[in-house]
Each structure stands twice: as C-alpha cells, then as structure tokens.
C-alpha cells in the first residue's frame, strides 16, 4: 500500500512545519490576536480542572474565608476531603463498581466488535446483508421505552449485565475497525494462510498486532463511555448498592446530599462540603486524565479511519 492510497493524512503526522515559500509572513497584529485567542481558549479549557483540584485540597477555613472561591492554589493543602470520602465507604464501593464495569464491559465490547469487524472485513456469504442491518441501526433508534421493556423482559433489570449488553457493539466503532481491517494487504493474509495459519491465528497473530493503534482508540472510546455511563445505570439499577460512580457523583454534588461520613460530632478538622464534593469529582476525573496523554496521539488516525474516506 503506497502512501497515495491513504485517504487522509492524519493531522498529527503532518511533517512540513515550515512556511511554504509563497505564504506571506503574518502581520504583527494578526499574530498577536491569534496568540491571545489561543491562550484564552486553552485557559478556558484548563482552568476549570485546576479550580476543582484546588478546591478539593482546600481547608474548611479557607473556603469559608474566601466565600467558596479557591482561585488557583489553596494556601494550606490538605487531604482531609479525600480521607472523608474514602472512609465513608459509598464512594469506594461506587469506584470499584465503575472500575469493574469499565474493565469487563470494555473487554466484552472489544471481543465482539473485533470478531464482527474482522468477519465482515472480507467478502463472505451474506456479508452485505449483515452490514446493511448494522448500518441501518445508525439511522434510527427504537426509543427509551421499548429498550427499557426489552431489558426488563430479558431479566437484566438490576443487574450489571444491563449496563454492558445493550451497548455491546457500537456501530461507529465497528466501522472504524472494519475499515482498518479492510486496508490490511490481502497478500499478508494469503501468505499466512499458505504457511498454514487458520482464520483464528491469522486474526490473532497477524491482524491484531498490526492494528494496535486503532484498537487502543476504540477501546478508549468504549472505556470512556462505560466510565461516564449515567443514564443506563439510573434506568436499570434500582439497588443503590450497585450504583457506579457517576450516580454517586450526582447524588453528592448535584443533589447536595452529604457524604456518609460519621465524624461523631467531633468538630476537629471536618472538611468542607464543597471540598468533599470536588474530591469526588477529582476521583471520577483521574482515570481519564491518566489514560488520555498516552492515547491522545492516536485519536486523529483512529477517528478518521472510520469516519470519512477521501
């Protein structure tokens, strides 16, 4: 496959950094305007994160004194808020549920999406028919009520399976993988077959190692959606013991319920409610912020292989 057949050059792979000879130098005013605009944009994105992290480390006194506004750094950072939420038990349990659902859910998503995408990446009997059934689902949805009734009828209500099974394969992610698999040179597969490899070992030993970047992006998309899943959990889990992190977050931060801390009336260093709330937000954010830098460079490639060709 020569480079000219590649549909688009991913942004992050662009090499030419120099200004083409015909392009004029930017005017000073234009440059200044651009720099200011970009700094403002970046600030507006980054600042909210800094603010909640700062607030989560602030002491009660500082929050009261500053009217609830910790602008960038608390003067006496403390871990009290974090101690409080992890002692309460509710947040810890929700965190475990979220981690479990994310890990198992993503693994199942990947297994089913990869096998289907690989199976349909080559011309097989009835392949067009199956592909059409998948693509049509992108145009319509049955609606909330019929989906809810189906989950109930299948006996999945109040079980973690209800968070995983209804979204087992995303048509979009399936397309991303299928398009990528279709671009794997047929010669490679043929030569593996001549060497005696079966369909499964071709998939596992040839195809998957070649697709690491795309697999990482698709897995990230799935994992993020499980991690942030809120509506399905609210719809299908009536048992609050089973609640994942987003529902607990909603309960504590948006509905203002107090975290179950038994301070036993000892007024000594009770962290501020606001700090506790922001600590829960930070706990929910950390996994995303940890994974993000490692996968970020694959986004463009992953998104574009599936989205638009040419």
Partner 1 sequence: MRSTLSPPVDASGRSAGDQVEDGQNAGKDRSGAVDLTIARHVPWSKRLRRDRTMLLLVLPGFLYFVVFHYVPLLGNVIVFKDYQPYLGIQGSPWVGLDNFQIFKDPEFLSALGNTVKFALIQLVLFFPAPIGLALMLNSLVGTKVRRFVQSVVYLPHFIGWVILVSIAQQLLGGAGLVPHLLGSLGLPQVDVMSSEGFFPWLLALQVIWKDAGWGTIIYLAAILNIDQEQYEAAAIDGANRWRRLWHVTLPGLMPVTILLFILNLGTILSVGFEQILLQRDAVGAGASEVLDTYVYIHGVVDGDWGTSAAVGLAKGVVGLAMILGANKLAHRLGHDGVYQR
Residues 164-183 that bind partner 1 (CB under 8 A): 165-166, 168-169, 174, 182-183
Which residue, 18 or 264, is less far from partner 1 as judged by CB?
18
To the nearest whole angstrom, how small is the minimum distance from the Cβ of residue 297 to partner 1? 8
CA angle 50, 64, 269 (to 5 degrees): 90
Query: Is residue 194 close enough to count as binding partner 1 by CB under 8 A?
Result: no
The verdict on 127 binding partner 1 (CB under 8 A) reads yes
Task: For the segment 279-298, give every residue that binds partner 1 (CB under 8 A).
Answer: 281, 284-285, 288, 292-293, 296
Could you tell me which of 158, 291, 309 has the C-alpha nearest to residue 236? 158
Min CB(114)–partner 1 separation in Å: 9
**Tokens representing 282?**
């930070």
Site string for partner 1, 61-90 (x = CB under 8 A): ------xxx-x-------------------
Footprint (CB under 8 A) of partner 1, residues 235-254 = 235, 246-247, 249-250, 253-254
| Residue 189 contacts residue 210 (beta carbons within 8 Å) | no
Q: If binding is defined by CB under 8 A, does position 105 make contact with partner 1?
A: no
- Among the listed ranges 82-90, 99-107, 145-153, 264-272, the one in contact with partner 1 (CB under 8 A) is 145-153
- What gap in Å lies between CA 243 and CA 231, rounded to an integer? 11
Q: In whole angstroms, give the CA distance from residue 189 to residue 206.
A: 8
């Amino acid at each position: 496959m020569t480079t000219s057949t590649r549909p688009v050059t991913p942004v992050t792979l662009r090499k030419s950094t120099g200004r083409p000879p015909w392009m004029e130098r930017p005017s000073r005013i234009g440059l200044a305007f651009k720099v200011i605009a970009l700094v403002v944009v970046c600030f507006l994105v980054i600042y909210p994160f800094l603010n909640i992290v700062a607030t989560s480390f602030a002491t009660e006194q500082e929050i009261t004194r500053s009217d609830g506004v910790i602008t960038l750094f608390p003067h006496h950072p403390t871990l009290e808020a974090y101690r409080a939420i992890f002692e309460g038990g509710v947040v810890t349990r929700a965190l475990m549920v979220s981690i479990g659902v994310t890990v198992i859910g993503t693994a199942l998503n990947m297994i089913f999406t990869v096998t289907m995408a690989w199976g349909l990446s080559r011309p097989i009997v009835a392949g067009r028919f199956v592909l059409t059934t998948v693509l049509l689902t992108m145009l319509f949805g049955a609606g909330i009520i019929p989906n809810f009734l189906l989950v109930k009828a299948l006996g999945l209500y109040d079980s973690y399976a209800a968070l995983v099974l209804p979204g087992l394969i995303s048509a979009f992610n399936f397309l991303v993988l299928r398009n990528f698999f279709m671009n794997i040179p047929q010669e490679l597969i043929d030569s593996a077959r001549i060497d005696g490899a079966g369909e499964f070992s071709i998939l596992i030993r040839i195809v998957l190692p070649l697709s690491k970047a795309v697999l990482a992006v698709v897995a990230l998309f799935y994992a993020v959606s499980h991690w942030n899943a809120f509506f399905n959990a609210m719809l299908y889990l009536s048992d609050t013991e089973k609640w994942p992190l987003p529902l607990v977050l909603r309960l504590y931060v948006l509905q203002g319920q107090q975290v179950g801390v038994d301070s036993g009336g000892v007024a000594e260093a009770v962290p501020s409610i606001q700090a506790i709330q922001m600590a829960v937000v930070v706990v929910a954010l950390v996994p995303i912020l940890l994974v993000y830098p490692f996968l970020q460079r694959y986004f463009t490639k992953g998104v574009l292989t599936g989205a638009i060709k040419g």
